[in-house]
Amino acid sequence: MNEFEDRHLRQKRLAGFGEEGQRRLRESRVLVVGCGALGTVVSEQLVRAGVGTVTIVDRDIVDVTNLQRQTLFTTRDAERRVPKAEAAKARLAQVDPGVAVRAIVDDVHAGNALRYCADHDLVVDCLDNFETRYVLNDCAVSLGIPLVYGGAVGFRGMAAVLLPVTGAERRVIAYDAARAGPCLRCLAPQPPEPGEVETCDSVGVLSSAAGIAASLEAGFALRLLAETPLSVEPALVRFDLATGSFSSASLLGARDPDCSACGRRVFEFLAQTDRHGATGDSGDFMASRPRVLCGRNAVEIPLGAPLSPASRDRIAARMAACGEVRRESFGGSESISCAWSEPTGARSLVVVAATDSTRALVGGSDDPEVARSVVARVLG
């Protein structure tokens, strides 16, 4: 046996894995939504374990503030302003070229979430915002796809595996209603209000806490795929590194039969584009509104459909009026960036032109209206 003939030898010795479990992993397709502190660790562990297809969806670019905890990225990625999904794909191709890693540079919202989830056997939620988390929950219940989610802030973290009642429809992960558990809305019917929960921006985050939460997520995912849910029940794990405490609770029996999502099958987060009442067609509102980037003094503004090469050239020409333009290509994506000074402070503009969408990141302000003004003034 040469050194590359069986890279999963130690893994196949695990009880419940073996050759059959490895085959199941190889045939599986996993969607990782979010490629930050959680998503980088989860994606790497899935690829190293031999999952056949790993699809990574993230809208952001690598920033130097990410490097403390987002393990797939380098200083060079931050300097080049590489989209996180593309940077992760490039790094993971060096880990195991036999795994198909797909990079999607886009924002997941009500208008596209079902499309991204539908072709996968398992969804791993590595997000940092609750609105999208509830959209993914609606997708998981609607499609019958198991959902693994986690989070970390400060010294604390958690991870959970949710098995929706329709899981028997899935090809790789199948189970009956007796094995099913609650969905996210059974446990928390509504997302928290803004300011109600702590964030990494308000209290910080220890990289080790994020790494533990992500490893728990990856562990749940790999066991579901290799061993099936007959061995892995719905569960919630919490930990606090400040006190060294860990706790685990089974979620069997926690399902609310009157839950609007998994009970009555009303998927309001897929239909509702604004939790405060504004609605639109297929998530148009969520797809087009600006987003303040946590801890970055920056705002992201969606610009619409993918750009042709000629359109990218025109954008670069307009940005050149503000300062020196830098263009970098990675996979199917390109970033076009420049920076300049104004009386109100430093400004930067990065246009990320990907195969799925086009987005602008305006640095130097966390005010969406200021960001809109910059985009209108520079790009027209």
| Catalytic residue positions, numbered | 200
What is the number of residues in the chain?
380
Q: 203 by DSSP, 3-state: which?
A: helix
Other beta carbons within 10 angstroms of residue 345's beta carbon come to 10
For residues 25 and 224, give the distance between their C-alpha atoms in angstroms, rounded to a whole number. Answer: 10
Q: One-letter amino acid identity for 183?
A: C
Ordered strands of the 100-105 beta sheet: 100-105, 53-58, 29-33, 122-125, 147-153, 156-162, 235-240, 245-250
For 72, the token pair is 């797939």
Cα(72)–Cα(312) distance, integer angstroms: 28
Helix (H, G, I), strand (E, B) or coil at 10: helix
In angstroms, the Cα distances linking 375 to 61, 314, 360 are 18, 14, 8
Cβ atoms of 361 and 298 closer than 8 Å:
yes
Kind of pairing between the strands at 100-105 and 53-58:
parallel
- 264 in Cβ contact with 69 (< 8 Å): no
Nearest in space to 38 (alpha carbons), one of 269, 198, 200? 200
